[in-house]
Each structure stands twice: as structure tokens, then as C-alpha cells.
């Protein structure tokens, strides 16, 4: 009989590696010029503030993951607490992030390679990314986990070398005291407003810490493991962002660059020479590959959950008999990635931010609703953890939403309108609920 459920094989280490691969720690160098320019040299301060802010939302995801340890992430949490209709709309908005983020990742990775090998068309690189990543994900998360471990180790090594070379460069000019400075946190002018603006940009680096919640049905003891993984990913990722940006900012004080988009490459050349710069570019490409594996995995699990609920075509819930992976959903993400053949990086990024922040906001709201429901049932949960923290999370995310450009807002709003129309069809003019209930879902997946 064909495998009907996902296989539980992931542990805490696997989830943390998966989440960090999704976040792509090396992006801190790839976007260093933009953050440093925005903050006038306070990139470390921006990442520190962004880390503190995003921990509140990470905390909310951890709370919900402990209560509802099934695939679906924000879709499941909102559906379980607020009903099927809001759940569908949040799932639809989450799809905007999870469907198109792999496309963005493959486009950026292909752009790096095309810049290094201009004779080979960008389209070829994008197709290579899609084919390899899709193949790895169809074979299964255990293979993807092993690939991620190897490639993340290389990425970590490059980051460590970047910090080491930065420290050597600083101490060779200013001695050991040069390593200790508040400038990377406060900037040249010592003003807080630019740091806040930079934190809004830096927060985009945290997109993906929530992705491990889509892997709950493939995790051993998900009620305990997934919440721990979420918090560890946010803390470790934030720590890496702060430490690396601090070291690099010491090498290049201020926020003036000949080209903010290539600032990381220029600094790599300065501190390590042409050879290290080449290694840095290779690491960026590998980082895009590992991130692509994780992003496609997460997106396919969301499609799988919504297909199983029959609010998306049921074929997305079909598992490959040999590998027990949602093969149709995985391939669908790969097909969507082909849109990158007709897009540029700037336009493609507009696809993801709006949906991600809507999901973040609604998960915080779901925590508040769950607290209220339990209180009415006579259970008194800790108000600091279940009320204050998610309230702060909602406020922070709404502030981030105001920082999005008009393209992201327009596209996101249009996507929401399409979702409302689909929901109206599914529910016969909003008179009925979308198919199935979360209780049936929990029974079906035999949550432990």
C-alpha cells in the first residue's frame, strides 16, 4: 500500500540546519552595503534591533507549534484558532511568500553565476538550479538534510574566515583596541532613527525562521522539537548577523560605497585578495542553493497541507510511493520558479515580503485568540508569554509592513483579492466553511 503520511525523521539539529539554510546567513555580507548605507555605518545595531524585534514573532510561532504540531504553519494556526475562512486567506497569503521565494532564490543564484560566466545565459543557470533542487527534494528530506549539512558547513567556514580576515585587517592598522568599538552599533552620527530604518531592512534576513513549522509532520516529537528549533534559529541567525556585520563594519566604517550592491565583494577582495573574493562568490552561490532546497521544501509542505484540506487541488497532497514526499507540490514549486526566466531581482522580491509579514502578524494574533479561548475555558496561561509578547510582535510586524514599497503592496493586495474570490467560490458565497476541520486533520496525522 502506498505511503499515506510523511515520515518522521528530523531531529532538532536537522531543523536548525534547515532553518538556517532557509535564512542564508551569508546574506549578511551580500546585503552589507545596503544596511550600512541606510544606517550610516550602524549595520550591527540594525541587526541587533531586528533580532530583538523578530524574536517576539518567533516566540509566537513556537507557542503555536507546540499546540498544533502539524504541517501548514500560519495557515494551520489561524485556521485552528480563528476559523476556516481566515485560515484559508492567511494560507493564501503565505503561499505568496512560499511559492515565489524559491523563484527569487534561484534568480539571485543564477545572476551570480551569470555574472561570473557571462557566456552562459541566465536561463540555463536558473534551470540548472531548479532541476537539481527539485530532484534533491523529491528524493526526500533525509537526503536534503545531508546536503544542507555539507553546504552549510562550507558557508559557516566562509563566514568565519570573513570575520577572521576582518579582525586581522583592523588590528594590523589600529592594534587590538581597534576591535572594540560602539560605532558599528551607533553609526557615525550616533542617531537612532537611521538604525531603526536599517532594522526594517535587516528584518528581511529573518524570513524563513518560520519555515521549520511546515516540517512538523516529519519531525520526531514535534511539540517539543519544533518550538526549540524556531527560537534557536532566530537566536543563532541573529547572532551571526550581528557578529559578522560588526566585524565587517570595523573594516569599512560608515556607509559610503562605490556600489552598495557589491560592497561585500569589494571588502572580501580588500581583506583576503582575489582568491578569497572568488571563494566568497562561490559561497554565495552555494548559499542560494541550500536556501533554495529549504524554501522549496517549505513551500511544498504548505501546498501539501492545503491540498489535504481540499482548499487547494487535492493532487498536491499526493505522496511519492517510493520517497513519501509530496512530489506534485515539489514539482509545482519548480514550475513556478520558471517565471524567473522573465523577471529581474528587484521585481521578483516584491512577490514575497507582503505575504510573509501578513503571515507573521496573523500568527501573533492567533496566539492572542488562543489565550482568550483558553481563558474562557478556565485555563489561565501566562499573560506575559501569551499576551504581551505577541502584542509587541504584531506592532513590530505592522511597522515593517509600512516600510514595503508600492510594488509589494500593490501585488500583495491583488493576491489577497484573488484569494477572497477563490474563497467565495469554495464556500458558495461565504455561506459554508472550506472543506474539512483542523480536528479531523489532527486525527488524520496522528499527532504525538
Residue 163 lies in a domain: yes
d(CA 56, CA 71): 22
**What cell numbers appear for 216 in the block?**
512538523
Per the structure, the complete domain to which residue 181 belongs is given by 12-76+103-344
Tell me how many domains the chain contains: 1
3-state secondary structure of 433: coil
CATH of the domain at 50: 1.20.1740.10
Residue 422 lies in a domain: no
d(CA 212, CA 378): 31
Torsional sign, CA 110, 111, 114, 115: negative
Residue 46 lies in a domain: yes
Residue 355 lies in a domain: no
Please give the chain's pLDDT, 448 residues, in tens: 455 677 887 899 999 998 998 888 988 888 888 889 989 999 999 999 999 989 999 999 999 999 998 877 898 899 999 988 999 999 899 888 888 888 888 888 888 788 778 899 989 999 999 999 999 999 877 777 788 888 889 999 999 999 999 999 999 887 887 789 999 999 877 788 889 888 888 887 887 788 888 888 888 899 999 999 999 999 999 999 999 999 999 999 988 888 787 788 889 999 999 999 889 988 988 888 888 888 898 889 888 888 888 888 889 988 888 888 899 999 999 999 898 888 776 666 666 778 888 999 999 999 999 999 999 998 889 999 999 999 999 999 888 888 777 888 888 899 999 999 999 988 888 787 776 544 444 444 444 4
Torsional sign, CA 219, 224, 230, 231: negative
Residue 381 lies in a domain: no
**What cell numbers appear for 329 in the block?**
507540490
> 144: Cβ–Cβ under 8 A, 6 or more apart, which residues?
18, 136, 137, 293, 294, 297
Inter-axis angle of helices 43-67 and 32-39, nearest 10: 110
Residue 228 lies in a domain: yes
Residue 27 lies in a domain: yes
Residue 47 lies in a domain: yes
> 432: Cβ–Cβ under 8 A, 6 or more apart, which residues?
none
Amino acid at each position: 500500500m502506498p505511503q499515506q503520511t510523511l515520515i518522521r525523521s528530523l531531529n532538532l539539529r536537522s531543523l536548525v540546519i534547515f532553518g538556517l539554510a532557509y535564512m542564508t546567513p551569508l546574506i549578511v555580507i551580500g546585503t552589507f552595503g545596503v544596511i550600512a548605507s541606510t544606517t550610516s555605518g550602524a549595520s550591527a545595531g540594525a541587526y541587533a534591533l531586528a533580532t530583538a524585534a523578530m524574536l517576539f514573532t518567533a516566540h509566537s510561532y513556537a507557542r503555536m507549534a507546540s499546540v498544533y504540531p502539524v504541517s501548514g504553519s500560519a495557515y494551520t494556526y489561524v485556521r485552528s484558532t480563528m476559523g476556516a475562512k481566515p485560515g484559508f486567506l492567511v494560507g493564501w497569503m503565505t503561499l505568496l511568500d512560499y511559492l515565489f521565494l524559491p523563484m527569487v532564490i534561484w534568480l539571485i543564484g543564477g545572476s551570480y553565476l551569470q555574472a561570473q560566466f557571462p557566456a552562459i545565459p541566465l536561463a540555463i543557470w536558473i534551470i540548472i538550479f531548479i532541476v537539481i533542487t527539485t530532484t534533491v527534494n523529491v528524493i526526500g528530506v533525509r537526503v536534503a538534510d545531508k546536503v544542507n549539512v555539507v553546504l552549510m558547513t562550507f558557508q559557516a567556514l566562509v563566514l568565519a574566515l570573513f570575520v577572521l580576515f576582518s579582525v586581522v585587517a583592523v588590528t594590523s592598522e589600529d592594534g587590538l583596541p581597534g576591535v572594540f568599538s560602539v560605532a558599528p552599533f551607533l553609526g557615525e552620527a550616533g542617531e537612532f532613527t537611521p538604525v531603526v530604518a536599517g532594522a526594517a531592512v535587516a528584518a528581511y534576513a529573518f524570513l524563513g525562521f518560520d519555515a521549520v513549522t511546515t516540517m512538523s509532520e516529519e519531525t520526531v516529537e514535534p511539540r517539543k522539537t519544533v518550538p526549540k528549533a524556531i527560537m534557536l534559529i532566530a537566536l543563532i541567525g541573529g547572532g551571526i548577523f550581528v557578529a559578522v556585520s560588526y566585524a565587517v563594519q570595523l573594516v569599512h566604517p560608515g556607509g559610503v560605497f562605490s556600489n552598495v550592491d557589491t560592497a561585500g565583494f569589494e571588502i572580501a577582495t580588500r581583506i583576503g585578495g582575489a582568491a578569497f573574493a572568488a571563494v566568497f562568490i562561490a559561497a554565495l552561490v552555494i548559499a542560494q542553493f541550500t536556501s533554495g532546497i529549504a524554501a522549496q521544501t517549505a513551500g511544498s509542505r504548505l501546498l501539501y497541507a492545503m491540498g489535504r484540506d481540499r482548499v487547494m487541488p487535492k493532487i498536491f497532497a499526493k505522496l511519492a510511493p517510493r520517497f513519501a514526499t509530496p512530489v506534485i507540490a515539489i514539482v509545482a514549486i519548480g514550475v513556478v520558479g520558471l517565471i524567473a526566466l522573465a523577471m529581474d531581482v528587484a521585481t521578483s522580491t516584491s512577490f514575497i515580503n507582503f505575504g510573509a509579514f501578513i503571515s507573521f502578524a496573523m500568527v501573533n494574533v492567533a496566539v492572542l485568540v488562543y489565550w482568550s479561548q483558553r481563558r474562557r475555558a478556565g485555563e489561565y496561561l501566562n499573560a506575559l508569554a501569551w499576551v504581551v509578547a505577541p502584542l509587541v510582535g504584531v506592532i513590530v510586524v505592522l511597522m515593517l509592513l509600512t516600510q514595503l514599497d508600492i510594488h509589494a503592496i500593490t501585488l500583495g493586495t491583488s493576491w489577497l483579492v484573488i484569494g477572497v474570490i477563490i474563497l467565495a467560490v469554495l464556500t458558495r458565497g461565504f455561506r459554508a466553511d472550506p472543506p474539512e476541520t483542523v480536528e479531523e486533520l489532527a486525527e488524520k496525522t496522528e499527532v504525538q
